[in-house]
Structure 1
Amino acid sequence: MSRITWRCGMPTKIECGCGIFEPMAQELPTARIQLGPCTYVPLNLPPFELKWQMSSDGKGVVSPCLVRKKTVALEPEEWVRQHWLHYLSSDLGYPLSLTSVELPLDLNGQAQFADVVCHNPDGQALLMVELKRPDVALSRAVLDQILRYHLKVRTPLLVISNGLHHQGYRFNGTQFTLLDSIPRYEEMNA
């Protein structure tokens, strides 16, 4: 079983309504993974054998989504999403059948989409993950984005990640606390 070590020790701190947010320094690994004409950054998530094929125009890569059961363009953010879906299901036991991808949300009349939301069998949302491509730093803006989504989908767990760095928060009904790791599905569904 793999376990992600959360990287939260940056010296710059931002005070926010949910506690202290510590932004991640953005340093991309020099190693690369080549899939056809596309190059991807190795992520700080457990590796898995991602199925892929060339796009019909031969300029990109497509892959079957683990949740949506359709082929999607393997853009950098999708590369991160598929690794997270694999990690959540294979390592932490969150059922893919109870996981939503790009869940539509209406925020003040504007359509927004939560990247990943995991539910229990009763449909209660347990975990929401906001994903960015590896070259996008985890910033206050990323945290603010998932906090806006949290106003609509009140999950006890929030995670922001660019595939290289991850931050998780637990919401107890009144405040957020920083997590050292994500609880397994059994712990959340007990």
Structure 2
Amino acid sequence: MKNSGLKTKTEDGVTYVYDIIRKKYLVLTPEEKVRQTFVHFLITRLGYSRNLIRTELGTRYHALSKRTDILVFDTAGQPYMLVECKAADVKISGQVIEQASRYNLTLRAPYICITNGKSTYCFHIDFEGGSTTQLSAIPLPGDGSASF
């Protein structure tokens, strides 16, 4: 994924990126660059509505307060896809996938994606059947089909 479409500015030697979801500038950390690039990808390439995307949304896991990197909702307002973002130099490991899965126990989104901007893994979670299937692409909005 390219970072095209990201609006940045530099003030006092610090670079900021504009978050089109929260409508404010944030410090451009390596993880924030991946998050913002993926949000732009979801909207411009896959056709997701920015109105159905939230970044850094608070959630709870057991008694702990956590924040989701990106949470996409369906048109009924239910969690549809949880996206866990890591900095480009962080390897996507089983531990990272488990972290996203734990967050999703409360949210129950049928799709989970994990990305570091270089590699992206996507899974379909069947809560009724108790199975997880790795997908070859990111699901498109609404119909559950997948495409890159």
Same fold, judged at TM 0.5 (above): yes
Matches within 5 A, 1:1-190: 45-55=1-11, 58-173=12-127, 174-188=130-144
Shift of 1:86: 0.6
Structure of higher CA gyration radius: 1
Task: Decide which structure has greater strand share.
Answer: 2
Share of identical aligned residues, percent? 30
Deviations 1:37-83 (A, max 9, x none): xxxxxxxx14423211113xx22201210211011111110100111
Higher relative contact order (CA closer than 8 Å, sequence separation 6+): 1
Question: Displaced runs of 4+ in structure 1, greater than 6 A?
Answer: none
CA distance in 2, matches of 1:123, 1:152: 15
Inter-CA distance 53–46: structure 2 relative to 1 (3 Å threshold):
closer
CA distance in 1, matches of 2:142, 2:3: 23
CA distance in 2, matches of 1:140, 1:61: 32
Mapped contact 1:62–1:74 kept (Cα < 8 A): yes
How many equivalent pairs are there? 143
Q: In the alignment, what sits opposite 1:21? A: none
The runs of 5 or more residues in structure 1 that have no matched partner are 1-44
Letter matched to residue 124 of structure 2: R
Mapped contact 1:80–1:133 kept (Cα < 8 A): yes
